[in-house]
Structure 1
């Protein structure tokens, strides 16, 4: 990861919600968009690296039988564990990805505001990890801020283009505006309506 641990340590030293996940409409709206874009109503085993304080994790938990949420920052992990304490099917661990990618198979992987912190080598390793870990009917969702900021090693557009070309998946849906880019890829290219026999 290009950004040092100290960057995130400094953010959490000042505030337990440094990006305003709880209070900002932008963040609440982004979570609603993320959840609405998932093609399946329910997933068996999901992975959310870079879970921060667990606000998105709490929403994903309602759509999954099991969820592994991770973050490299100790404070974020503690906050996420507190936020998800009433969800016994959710595990929160301290991990740095892609170096400490779990050995499990997942039918949902959510990369929210994470991959643009990675340098080229780690971004390449990330695509390899996703390819190995995603189940035969799996879904990958990526969501990234489109505007430039100093700590980003990549643009959202470059991250999503690389995921699109390197993971061997079919892009099922895209949403973009001036601020955010969301993409959903899957190993099963059928639409939601096709899954339900409507098309």
Structure 2
């Protein structure tokens, strides 16, 4: 069973930054790596499910024409809306994944520290939804903590194995550290250099 909504409501109760995403150098550096790993300078449409307090949403908003974010916790949604107050091209919704999912298509979907909160069945449903929602040359970037998490049946490595098997897309990038794994899959198999005629 996936982690219950009440867990996230409790995390945000009295704490606007339960993972210290704004304070820790670990989180700041990881966001910088995530941004640097995006193969395109700009995307037409980006979806960030599980946006937490909007720290990563701000980075993504600067790289796209349209941004859709969602989270299951009402406080997280409110915080992300505050973070994106100066980004009129961004929208934030309160949704429970994977049951609630947008109808539109995206050039990029970002799964950042999200998928191990889902059980394998819900993760499989989310992967199918991602596959269906990506454009013909769409990309998916995922970043997850590799250590075990209390109450979760999957760790980051298990999540990324299931993503790799379920997406059936070209893996353009993999960055693996002791703490986290970051990977990007694309329907367009060409690298950045290949797109610029360097190979």
TM-score, normalising length from structure 1? 0.98
Does residue 71 (structure 1) correspond to residue 78 (structure 2)? The answer is no
* Structure 1 runs (4+) greater than 3 angstroms displaced: none
Distance in 2 separating the partners of 1:10 and 1:131: 31
Match of 2:34 in 1: 34
Which structure 2 segments of 5+ residues have no match? none
- The runs of 5 or more residues in structure 1 that have no matched partner are none
* Secondary structure of the corresponding residue to residue 14 of structure 1: coil
Count, aligned residues: 199
TM-score w.r.t. structure 2 length?
0.98
Matched residue, 1:185: 185
Instruction: Give yes or no for the alignment of 1:175 onto 2:180.
Output: no
Equivalent position of 2:87 in the other structure: 87
CA displacement 1:143-174 (0-9 Å, x = unmatched):
00001120322111111111111112100000
| SS of corresponding position for 1:87 | coil
Structure-2 separation of matches of 1:154 and 1:27: 21
The CA distance in 2 between the partners of 1:65 and 1:181, in whole Å, is 27
Q: 2:195 matched to which residue of 1? A: 195
Q: CA RMSD in A?
A: 0.9
Q: Which position in structure 2 is the counterpart of 1:50? A: 50
Q: Is the counterpart of residue 166 in structure 1 residue 166 in structure 2?
A: yes
In 2, distance between residues paired with 1:68 and 1:125? 19
Once residues 129 and 88 of structure 1 are traced to their aligned partners in structure 2, the CA distance between those partners, rounded to angstroms, is 26
State how far apart, in whole Å, the 1-side matches of 2:178 and 2:168 are.
Answer: 27
**d(CA) in 1 for partners of 2:4, 2:14:** 17
> Aligned equivalents of 1:173 and 1:181: distance in 2?
11
